[in-house]
Structure 1
Amino acid sequence: MDSILVRGGGKLSGQIPIAGAKNACLALMPATLLSDEPLTLTNAPRLSDIRTMTELLSSLGAEVTSLQEGKVLAMASHGPINTRAEYDIVRKMRASNLVLGPLLAREGHAEVSLPGGCAIGARPMDIHTDGLAKMGAQIDLRDGYLHAKADGGKLKGAVIDFPFASVGATENIMMAATLAKGTTVINNAAREPEIVDLADCLRAMGAQIDGDGTSTVTIQGVDRLHGATHRVVTDRIELGTYMLAPAICGGEVELLGGRIDLLAAFCEKLDAAGISVSETENGLSVTRREDQIRAVDVTTEPFPGFPTDLQAQMMALLCTANGTSVLEEKIFENRFMHAPELIRMGADIEVHGGTATVKGVSKLKGAPVMATDLRASVSLILAGMAAEGETTVSRVYHLDRGYEHVVTKLRGVGADIERIKS
């Protein structure tokens, strides 16, 4: 099993190109099932999760061709569609559940295994299935599969009130509603940029969608969707992660393709901690204003709040801050599993339920540590870049799910980092 070796010390300088958003692309790819015409995605990230979704779509009868070294995905679903999403593929990734809505909308029935993914807490499917049930789907859970069938073979528009703003459920219902009969209204919809990106793509395919980016999304069903070409939005989580690199190590780094509007709440916390973020012609420039980071409190919230997917990386920054920081995790339980690994590096962290108290220390020390999930893995790399000595991060297969060429990108701005093949 591969590991990543990081030697701490030294300021960073240079540019890091930011890829297309993993979470956006994983929602955009199943949209090909909604039309028998080609859908082409540009600015696609080159990640193992994208390959998993490619495998899943191919198993359902879609054609997916990777072009331009993986940056372009040419897809088509013009042949017979298989409506059973098998466990052996779905178990690898939570986003696999996003084929449920498109399959129901196009074929009127589907069998989709319950999904897998990072072990960061329960993310139940009931909000997805309850919404689809209001649209006329009959759904039973048998043998680990969701067996879904649209009443009369076609979904119908409905008013759906989510108990909380779920990104995945909003995406699933949006796609299902594009081909449903009548109007669907999603109340308490997720507002993330990835939702807007999906709506933009669906509109390019002929869908009628209004209100994306707000808490109420309205979809008027149409008879069919056509082909389109769509550019995947910038990955705001990769952006935020690499913004923290010069914040932790010092120096100045330009993030190519970065936009403040994607991470406004995150940028506010960086400013409070003593980090300057400024717009450039090509993206964002990040530099640390003072020798030591100032302690700040962080509470994760749905967009436009502080992203849960940047909580672990922010904790790495605050480990050496001047003072005590409190991080409150309100999105997922079990998302402080990186804390014990940071403690191995000398961090002073106490976790009680959904709250972590971080008392800044003068210096972290390199140590062997183990990644527990995708975002935790990169937080340990960031911590290692600021630590004295060598840090070895094991189980980095998590990393490959969400960050393309992380070693190359960090080495390009001066980090002493290498991947050790097993």
Structure 2
Amino acid sequence: MSTYIVEGGRPLEGAVRVHGAKNSVLPILAACLLAPGECVIHNCPELSDVTASLDILRHLGCRAWRQDGECVVVDASAPTGWDVPDALMREMRSSVIFLGAILGRMGQAKLCAPGGCELGPRPIDLHLAAIRALGGTITESEGGLRCAGALRGADIVLSLPSVGATENAMLAAVCAQGTTTITNAAREPEIVDLQQFLCTLGARVRGAGSSVITVEGGHALHGGEYTVMGDRIVAATYLAAAAAAGGEVEVSGVDYRHLSTVTAVLNEAGCTVQSDGTRVSLRSGGMLRGVRPIRTAPYPGFPTDAQAPLMAALVRGEGCTVFVENMFESRYRHVDELARMGADIRVEGRVAVVYGVPRLHGARVRAADLRGGAALVVAALAADGISRIEGLHHIDRGYQSLERDLRALGAQIVRS
């Protein structure tokens, strides 16, 4: 089992470019199933979740391969399958995003329960409600779902602005006859990225980035070429690492506006942050101060995926910071591991109170989920001594060669 060995206490210096966004590329790969022909996807990171998506596409009868490093080609000219077996579904939680695409293209779909990080209940009720609104019939049995039916345009009102349900509704609606309106849609930048890709394929979708998305379904689609947006959560992680360890770094390849809530917190904590187009630079002395309460919320609020890395940066310093996790019930699984390194954090329900400490020490810790694993790396970079971080399969789901990028910034981190 792979382990990160991190020697902390060294400031970070230099520049790094983030890879394509995991949360964009997964629905974009699912969308490739809708278009007869080849889709060429640039800035597609080498992540285990991406590998799982490509395996699903191949199982469905598509041809899919990687070429020239960060470029992936998917040929969905003649898909033959409409089911995703249990083994593939369990590889990643977001595998449910294939539901709308398979049903739209093949007229039926069969999926098992999805896998991925254990972050508490993430019911797919909103996904299923959207499919039903479009005319799909759903039968649940033996831990799986069977969907069928000719889809037609409809008015879909989401009770919550769920990212996954918004994406599934968009994918299915592209193949539905007539116009679909999705109200209370998620507004995340990754939704905008999916809309732009669908339009590249010939779909007619508008409104992404607002709370109402309109899809004119039933139009003929074709292959296309597209470049995925940069990963704002990876960028937030690198900025948190520099804030925690000290030093000066520049992160590029990401829209600075997508990071505004994160950079505002880092500014308040005592860092100097400057933004320019697709670049964000940060300078830190390494000792941060507590900030006003951080409450995770749907975009444009503070992203839940950045909560753990920012918490790890704020455990070393002065003052107190309160975190309120509004998105997932079990997103403080990194807290006990941070405590092994000397952090002082009290958790009650969805609230975590971080009391800054003057120093952290190296320890053997284990990642329990993707962003919690990144948080342990952030803390290890700021700690005195050597830390050993296990459970890297979680980190590999969302970070391409995390150790390589951090070494480029001067970190002492190796994978063994």
TM-score normalized by structure 1? Answer: 0.96
**Corresponding residue of 1:347:** 343
**Corresponding residue of 1:216:** 212
- Structure 1 position 263, deviation (Å): 1.2
- Structure 1 position 282, deviation (Å): 6.0
**Corresponding residue of 1:77:** 76
**Corresponding residue of 1:105:** 104
Distance (whole Å) between structure 2 residues aligned to residue 222 and residue 136 of structure 1:
14
Asked whether the 8 Å contact 2:193–2:228 carries over to 1, the reply is: yes
Asked whether the 8 Å contact 2:255–2:278 carries over to 1, the reply is: no
**Corresponding residue of 2:288:** 293
**For 1:364-412, what per-residue CA distance to the aligned partner results, in whole angstroms no more than 9, with x for missing partners?**
1111111100111111111011111111111111111111111111111
The answer to whether 1:14 aligns with 2:9 is: no
Asked whether the 8 Å contact 1:313–1:375 carries over to 2, the reply is: yes
The one-letter amino acid of 2:309's match is: Q
Q: Which of the numbers 230, 248, 254 marks the counterpart of 1:252?
A: 248
The one-letter amino acid of 1:13's match is: E
- Structure 1 position 180, deviation (Å): 0.6
- Structure 1 position 341, deviation (Å): 0.5
The one-letter amino acid of 2:414's match is: E
**Corresponding residue of 1:126:** 125
Report sequence identity in percent.
Answer: 40
The one-letter amino acid of 2:29's match is: M
**Corresponding residue of 1:359:** 355
- Structure 1 position 281, deviation (Å): 7.1
SS of match in other structure, 1:263: helix
Asked whether the 8 Å contact 1:15–1:254 carries over to 2, the reply is: yes
The answer to whether 1:68 aligns with 2:43 is: no
Regions of 4+ moved over 3 Å: none
Q: Any unmatched runs of 5+ in structure 1?
A: none
Asked whether the 8 Å contact 1:20–1:233 carries over to 2, the reply is: yes
SS of match in other structure, 1:131: helix
Distance (whole Å) between structure 2 residues aligned to residue 356 and residue 376 of structure 1:
14
**Corresponding residue of 1:202:** 198
Asked whether the 8 Å contact 1:63–1:76 carries over to 2, the reply is: yes
Distance (whole Å) between structure 1 residues aligned to residue 382 and residue 357 of structure 2:
12
The one-letter amino acid of 1:91's match is: R
- Structure 1 position 138, deviation (Å): 0.5
Asked whether the 8 Å contact 1:208–1:222 carries over to 2, the reply is: no
**Corresponding residue of 2:228:** 232
Asked whether the 8 Å contact 2:184–2:212 carries over to 1, the reply is: yes
Asked whether the 8 Å contact 2:184–2:211 carries over to 1, the reply is: yes
- Structure 1 position 267, deviation (Å): 1.3
Distance (whole Å) between structure 2 residues aligned to residue 47 and residue 143 of structure 1:
30
SS of match in other structure, 1:261: helix
Asked whether the 8 Å contact 1:257–1:284 carries over to 2, the reply is: no
Q: Any unmatched runs of 5+ in structure 2?
A: none
Distance (whole Å) between structure 2 residues aligned to residue 60 and residue 291 of structure 1:
49
**Corresponding residue of 1:92:** 91
SS of match in other structure, 2:111: strand
Alignment of 1:153-168 (within 5 A): 154-168=150-164
The answer to whether 1:25 aligns with 2:25 is: yes
Asked whether the 8 Å contact 1:259–1:279 carries over to 2, the reply is: no
Higher mean C-alpha displacement, 268-277 vs 363-372: 268-277
SS of match in other structure, 2:119: coil
Change in CA separation of 1:345 and 1:214 when aligned onto 2, cut-off 3 Å: same
- Structure 1 position 210, deviation (Å): 1.3
**Corresponding residue of 2:56:** 56
Query: C-alpha root-mean-square deviation of aligned residues, in Å?
Result: 1.1
SS of match in other structure, 1:401: coil
Asked whether the 8 Å contact 2:246–2:287 carries over to 1, the reply is: no
Distance (whole Å) between structure 1 residues aligned to residue 276 and residue 97 of structure 2:
36
Distance (whole Å) between structure 2 residues aligned to residue 294 and residue 158 of structure 1:
50
Distance (whole Å) between structure 1 residues aligned to residue 90 and residue 15 of structure 2:
36
SS of match in other structure, 2:250: strand
Distance (whole Å) between structure 1 residues aligned to residue 144 and residue 169 of structure 2:
19
**For 1:113-139, what per-residue CA distance to the aligned partner results, in whole angstroms no more than 9, with x for missing partners?**
121110011111111011110110110
**What is the aligned length?**
415
SS of match in other structure, 2:327: coil
- Structure 1 position 108, deviation (Å): 1.3
